[in-house]
Structure 1
Amino acid sequence: MKTYKTARESKVSITELMLPSHSNFGGKVHGGYILNLMDQIAFACASKHSQCYCVTASVNRVNFLNPIDVGELVTLKASINYTGKTSMVVGVRVESENITTGKKKHCNSSYFTMVAKDEKGKNIPIPGLLIQDEQGIRRFARSKQRKEEAFSRDTQFDESKFKAEEHLELLKKENLKIVLK
């Protein structure tokens, strides 16, 4: 196994025609179906980079920017943005294309943290990321910052350390009623 690999070496893309069976009650492609495809391509990309089985540890922010219509082609692109010791962040971009007009829409971008596992389910080391351009540096730095912010959010609101009175002023402007017992 290589010590370092470029994002290009693990890059994966798939294109699929959206069928009526993929639609929701509103006649658009169901978001859950798109999430399933995103998870599959993140797995393929992470497994290609690590050369082993990977599992999804977390998904950072899924925003559905534009609806996808039945009959459109959906292309998902995935690449490694960040590598830790046993985990990696896979950036996934979703675009749709109207096959009659050729018009393309950016529908979603998300970040999947994937962890490499051995045959016994233990975390195993992965190759680092070999960055060769400024975009790679930007993606790596952004992923690292996202990880640090998530850790900070998790620890800030840890139940054993949380003090409700520190947040009451902020909550006064929200659509809620607090009745403490």
Structure 2
Amino acid sequence: MSRKPAKFCRESRAVKTLMVLPPDTNNYGTMFGGKVMYHIDDIAAIAATRHARISVVTASTDSVDFLQPIRNGQSVCLEAFVTWTHRTSVEVFVKVVAEDMLSGERTVCATSFLTFVALDVNGEKQMVPAVIPESELEKFLFEGAPERARKRLEKREQSKALAERFSSEDL
């Protein structure tokens, strides 16, 4: 299994914009968190696939940090790009920005890191290209990635231990 040539972060950039309508909102007139998470996973998968140029599956979502509500009638723009890779995995950062369509005011409403694993048609893990950061933000996110990966692995081990406990006692 050989690694493909490295790619710039910008080569994976993906953007998705949509209007927030009443069916997208809760009784407070703000966008359902689950809908936001769906769109985050969708745009992140596009960025990861664009980088790897092979099918990917979601391995984890570190967190979705909801910073501000997204309101009915606003547009919401999700921007994603690959921040780091490790052999067969791809880390993607997603920023969610709401825009008041009348005033033009834009607010960062959520951020998230997701990890994807590249798989071939037989479900075997595949090597992915390394990533080359260029901008200050890309470099900042790239430099913090090994620590996020370490924490992610630690959390995964805790989740496995919890799953084993449930499978032995509570099924």
> What TM-score do the two structures reach when normalised by structure 2?
0.86
Change over 3 Å in CA distance of 1:158–1:32 after alignment to 2: closer
Q: Which has the larger radius of gyration?
A: 1
Is 2:17 the counterpart of 1:15? yes
Indicate the structure with greater helix content: 2
Aligned equivalent of 1:66: 68
What residue in structure 1 maps to residue 51 of structure 2? Answer: 49
Change (3 A) 1:157 1:77: closer
Out of 6, 9, 21, the position equivalent to 2:8 is 6
Q: Is the 8 A contact 2:77 2:97 kept in 1?
A: yes
Unmatched tracts of structure 1, length 5 or more? 161-181
What is the 5 A alignment of 1:1-181? 2-153=4-155
SS of the residue corresponding to residue 81 of structure 1 reads: strand
Q: Higher relative contact order by CA 8 Å / sep ≥ 6: 1 or 2?
A: 2
- Inter-CA distance 156–47: structure 2 relative to 1 (3 Å threshold): closer
The change in CA–CA distance for 1:149 and 1:12 in structure 2 (over 3 A counts) is same
Can you list the C-alpha shifts for 1:19-55, whole angstroms capped at 9, x where unaligned? 1110112221101000000000000000000001111
TM-score for the superposition, normalised by structure 1: 0.81
> Cα deviation per residue 1:61-120 (whole Å; 9 max; x = unaligned)?
211110011110100000111111110100000000000111111100100001111111
Q: CA deviation at 1:156?
A: 7.4
What is the Cα-based RMSD across aligned positions, in Å? Answer: 2.0
Structure 2 gaps of 5+ residues are: 163-171
- Identity, % of aligned positions: 31
Query: Which secondary structure does the structure 2 equivalent of 1:63 belong to?
Result: strand
Distance 1:159 1:115 in 2: 21
Q: SS where residue 137 of structure 2 aligns?
A: helix
The one-letter amino acid of 1:3's match is P
What secondary structure, in the 3-state scheme, does the structure 1 residue paired with 2:54 have? coil
